[in-house]
Amino acid sequence: MPGINGFEMLARLGFAARALMYAAIGYLALRLGRTEDNEGALAYIQGVGGGILLSIMAIGFLGYGVWRLSEALIDTEGQGTGAKGIAQRLGGGVSGIIHLFLCWAAIGLATGGKGSSSDSAEQGASTALALPGGSWMLVVVAAILLALAAFQIVKAYRLGFLKHLDPAAAGRPWIAWVGRAGYLARGVVFAMTALFMWEASRQERAAAAGGMEQALDRIPDDWQVLVAAGLFLFGVFSAVEAVYRRITDPQVLDRLRRHVSAG
């Protein structure tokens, strides 16, 4: 079917872009003692690799975002319509939206912009608190982040991420441990950001909100090293996914063909 191979290539490029971003976050914390969020990592990558590399990453984030949104909208992963399937598809949709924002941020940096001048989590909290019922909106966001944290930790414990890999990669112990460390670190970061959002809601103060950078800052030094190493390893695992993720599963292709034909 026309477009399927290109769609797969963009999704894989997105995994590669995510690999670079998380590796940069981990490297900066471990090597330079510098905590950064996603946009800070992209700014660092721009300084090292230039606008061309960042432009390629932007294309990857776009492809990855569209792929994850397709997972939510047309169930390309075959999660189904049960409660668990709906939750996983919603998670895919959230991830897709986040990566579209990362695409926008990368484009801005690649074309000469300076990126966000202040913390995006604080900006979002400030916008929410300015609306009626804004503090309750932040409670909902905190609950979603906490659920995502639990999902990451459970996935790490059960090695649920391996089912999406080619069997040749899924059977390698080092890949299992790299993925497990990465998902555990992400779970910690999501849990910390949920706490920040809860505090912002409780205090009705946007400055209490925070993202990955603030989460790493708040973690005690010894644990910060472990979490930063986990984030770096999540970058390594994302590079593995760029090669071995089962994007071309025959059932996935059949579902895509049906939806394209119906359209």
Query: What is the C-alpha separation between 113 and 208, in angstroms, rounded?
Result: 27
pLDDT interval class at 252 (50, 70, 90): low
The mean pLDDT value for 157-166 works out to: 93
Query: What pLDDT, on a 0 to 100 scale, did the predictor assign at position 126?
Result: 86
* pLDDT in the model for residue 2: 40
For residues 191-210, average pLDDT:
90
Judge whether 28 and 44 are in contact, CB under 8 Å.
yes
pLDDT of 178: 98
Looking up tokens 């970058």 gives: 235
Residue 80's domain comprises 4-262
Q: Which residues share a beta bridge with 165?
A: 245
Least confident of 124-138, 152-166, 216-230: 124-138
Tally of domains in the chain: 1
pLDDT mean across residues, the chain? 85
**Residue 190: predicted pLDDT:** 94
The H helix count followed by the E strand count for the chain is: 10, 0
pLDDT at 256 over 80: no
For the chain, percent of residues with pLDDT exceeding 90:
48
Question: Residue 85 pLDDT > 60, yes or no?
Answer: yes
Check residue 77 and report its DSSP letter: T
Query: What local confidence, expressed as pLDDT, does residue 254 receive?
Result: 60
Neighbours of 19 (CB within 10 A): 21
Count of positions (residues) in the chain? 263
Q: Which pLDDT score, from 0 to 100, does residue 255 have?
A: 57
**pLDDT tens-digit profile of 8-64?**
888 899 999 999 999 999 999 999 889 998 999 999 999 998 889 999 999 999 999
DSSP assignment letter at 2: T
* Calpha distance 65→175 (Å, rounded): 24
Number of neighbours of residue 34 by Cβ within 10 angstroms: 14
Residues 244/168, Cβ–Cβ less than 8 Å = yes
115-138 as b/e, with b when 16 or more CB fall inside 10 Å?
ebeebbbbebbbebbeeeebbebb
Q: What is the pTM of this model?
A: 0.86
Q: Residue 3: what pLDDT? A: 46
Question: Band of the pLDDT at 208, cuts 50, 70, 90?
Answer: confident
